[in-house]
Amino acid sequence: MRLDTTADLVDKIKSGEYKRFFITTHHKPDGDAMGSTLGLWHVLKNFSDQVTVVTPTDYSADLNWLPGNDHVVNFEEESNRAVALLGEADVVFCLDFNRLSRINQLGELVKNSAKPTVMIDHHLEPEEFYSYAFWTPQASSTCELIFEWSIKNFGKDVVSKDCVNCLFTGLMTDTGNFQYNNTKPHTHRVAADMMELGADHIAIHERIYDVFSPTRSRLFGYCLYQKLEIIEDCRTALIYLNKEELEEFQVVTGDTEGLVNLGLGIKGIVFSVLIIDRTERVKMSFRSKGNFAANEFAGNYFSGGGHKNAAGGQSEESLEATVEKFRSELVKYKEELQSIYK
């Protein structure tokens, strides 16, 4: 499964017909979202000065070191500026998501603007909102796609060291350090190509993973010691956090990243769930092993989706009601969960 309908777009970029570029990505962007948008920002800077990355919300401060970060516009903080940039744009790049609902109010604005849109993404089942697409769920990350698309269409010279440092970040984070099943031989070849172009893998690793604040470290310890629940007959690990706990550990955007993976590190566990009572809504993260489709579970009960082994969802109900709903839906999968890897 692969879509590449960007030939005409590439011609328009090369000829200068398109020269004002608006790049956006999903709500609460992660390493792949920011790495790919800023990676593309560096690439398009070779063609124009009018290139802007607009995020629908804030993101982890652990990504602020990414080269180009100072130029990012956060829609929540500067909505007038973002709307003006959208109005001026020749084309809108939509990276690392494939449904306009993933970019909150920006989705409606992009739709109503009637601007040409480009979807570059690796999530399953895209909505047909785009004018141009470069898409395959076989790619490890959107950063991998941006790297391939840029080199294939514009050559290696458009990929600077700063650019490749952004792109390596998403390749690394979306594969969980080259660990998840989206890591293919090809992923390692792409990583090698990026290193040859100057990606500093050691510095990137340290800036992403060795940056826990003391309160974040204590939150992880607290979750493991006090909050982790093992639902043995479903081979499931569950952690949920209420608002008081988030406050106690001074949780900021990005602090809970990686928490859901702790459950999967336990022998025999094949499904791990993190439920958090965020200000706007109850947010859920799902991780699974083997053939258990976390995205289907998220889609069936919690208005979510994502990848087979890494998905997310949400609930409009209270934290307690959400946890109870989760427990009662989970038991339906007892046999299936028992059979994973057996």
Q: Which residues bind ligand 5GP (CB under 6 A)?
A: 123, 285, 304-307, 310-314
Count of residues of this chain found to bind Mn ion when the rule CB under 5 A is applied: 5
Per-residue interface string for the shown chain with Mn ion, residues 104-143, x marking contact by CB under 5 A = -------------------------------------xx-
Q: Rounded to the nearest whole angstrom, what is the least distance from the CB of residue 216 to ligand 5GP in the complex?
A: 16
The sign of the torsion formed by the CA atoms of 78, 84, 85, 91 equals: positive
User: Out of Mn ion, ligand 5GP, none, which partner does residue 144 contact, by CB within 5 to 8 A per kind?
Assistant: none
CA separation, residue 57 to residues 35, 175, 201, 303 (Å): 16, 23, 27, 20
User: Out of ligand 5GP, Mn ion, none, which partner does residue 311 contact, by CB within 5 to 8 A per kind?
Assistant: ligand 5GP
User: Out of ligand 5GP, Mn ion, none, which partner does residue 310 contact, by CB within 5 to 8 A per kind?
Assistant: ligand 5GP
Cβ distance to Mn ion smaller for residue 33 or 109: 33
Q: Rounded to the nearest whole angstrom, what is the least distance from the CB of residue 310 to ligand 5GP in the complex?
A: 5
DSSP structure string for 144-206? HHHHHHHHHHH-GGG--HHHHHHHHHHHHHHTTTTTSTT--HHHHHHHHHHHHTT--HHHHHH
144 binds Mn ion (CB under 5 A): no
Tokens (6 digits) for 214: 């003391």
Angle between helices 161-174 and 31-44 (to 10 degrees): 160
Residue nearest ligand 5GP (C-beta atom): 312
174 binds Mn ion (CB under 5 A): yes
User: Out of ligand 5GP, Mn ion, none, which partner does residue 307 contact, by CB within 5 to 8 A per kind?
Assistant: ligand 5GP
Cβ distance to ligand 5GP smaller for residue 61 or 151: 61
Torsions phi, psi for 120 (to 5 deg)? -120, 115
User: Out of Mn ion, ligand 5GP, none, which partner does residue 216 contact, by CB within 5 to 8 A per kind?
Assistant: none
Cβ distance to Mn ion smaller for residue 138 or 338: 138
**Dist CA 166 CA 171 (whole Å):** 9
Tell me which long-range contacts 179-186 makes (C-beta under 8 A, separation of at least 24).
180/309, 180/310, 181/308, 181/309, 182/139, 182/140, 182/141, 182/307, 183/140, 184/138, 184/140
The H helix count followed by the E strand count for the chain is 14, 13
Cβ distance to ligand 5GP smaller for residue 157 or 316: 316
Q: Which residues of this protein are in contact with Mn ion, per CB under 5 A?
A: 32, 96, 141-142, 174
